[in-house]
């Protein structure tokens, strides 16, 4: 299950329902300006349609903002001549786009059967305990960690693989968890 499906404790409520011109909402800062816009323009030359730049554009949003808000979906839709509803349909299909803010360190532990047979559930428990998140998909009170179970990471011979943001850790056992976390600021 993706983090998005579970909802994070720090979800900014204004992003969920605020339409344009809502009195309480903060000003939205566009993502696609300056260098980021130039990067997207370059990506668009790789494809014969604008729509094909949608997945790369959403990756850029997530890189810049940490998650993909509804406002960002609207911006992406404008930039690529799509509708916000279409963009949301795509965002919700893929599990790696965060639809809510997540912890500074987003930790994904593979628990599909091959890893499950090698003790992945104990690794999950160790991460929940040592990060203080206690529950899957919930961000720790200091905003530092979110832990989720993820489906097959494609590294089954290195059970249990764990991703911490972009970093891939192989052959993780419960006794290595404290050490992995201690290296994160």
Nearer to other proteins, 18 or 155 (CB): 155
Nearer to other proteins, 19 or 157 (CB): 157
Nearer to other proteins, 24 or 46 (CB): 46
Q: Quick check: 94 binds other proteins (CB under 8 A)?
A: yes
Give residues 144-163 in contact with other proteins (rule: CB under 8 A). Answer: 150-159, 163
Answer for which of 28, 95, 176, 181 binds other proteins (CB under 8 A) is 95
How many CA atoms are closer than 13 Å to the CA of 157, on its beta-carbon side?
A: 0
Q: Quick check: 118 binds other proteins (CB under 8 A)?
A: yes
Binding mask 53-92 for other proteins (x = CB under 8 A): xxxx-xx--------------------x--------xx--
Answer for which of 63, 113, 173, 178 binds other proteins (CB under 8 A) is 113
The answer to whether the CB of 60 falls within 8 A of the CB of 31 is: yes
Any alpha helices (H) in 66-139, and if so which ranges?
Answer: 70-79, 84-93, 113-116, 120-131
Instruction: Give CB contacts under 8 A, 24+ apart, made by 175-181.
Output: 177/123, 177/126, 177/127, 177/130, 178/126, 178/130, 181/127, 181/130, 181/131, 181/145
Min. distance of Cβ 24 from other proteins in angstroms? 31
CA distance 66 to 69: 9
């Amino acid at each position: 299950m993706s983090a998005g499906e579970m909802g994070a404790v720090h979800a900014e409520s204004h992003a969920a329902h605020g339409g344009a011109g809502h009195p309480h909402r903060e000003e939205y800062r566009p993502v696609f300006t300056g260098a980021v816009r130039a990067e997207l323009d370059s990506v668009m030359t790789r494809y014969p349609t604008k729509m094909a730049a949608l997945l790369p554009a959403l990756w850029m949003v997530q890189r810049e903002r940490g998650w993909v808000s509804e406002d960002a979906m609207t911006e992406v839709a404008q930039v690529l001549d799509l509708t916000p509803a279409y963009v949301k349909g795509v965002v919700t299909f893929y599990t790696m786009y965060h639809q809510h803010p997540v912890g500074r360190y987003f930790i994904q532990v593979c628990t599909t059967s091959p890893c499950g047979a090698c003790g992945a559930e104990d690794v999950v428990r160790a991460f929940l305990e040592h990060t203080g998140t206690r529950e899957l998909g919930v961000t720790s009170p200091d905003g530092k960690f979110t832990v989720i179970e993820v489906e097959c990471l494609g590294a089954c011979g290195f059970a249990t693989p764990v991703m911490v943001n972009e970093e891939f850790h192989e052959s993780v056992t419960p006794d290595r968890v404290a050490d992995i976390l201690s290296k994160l600021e």
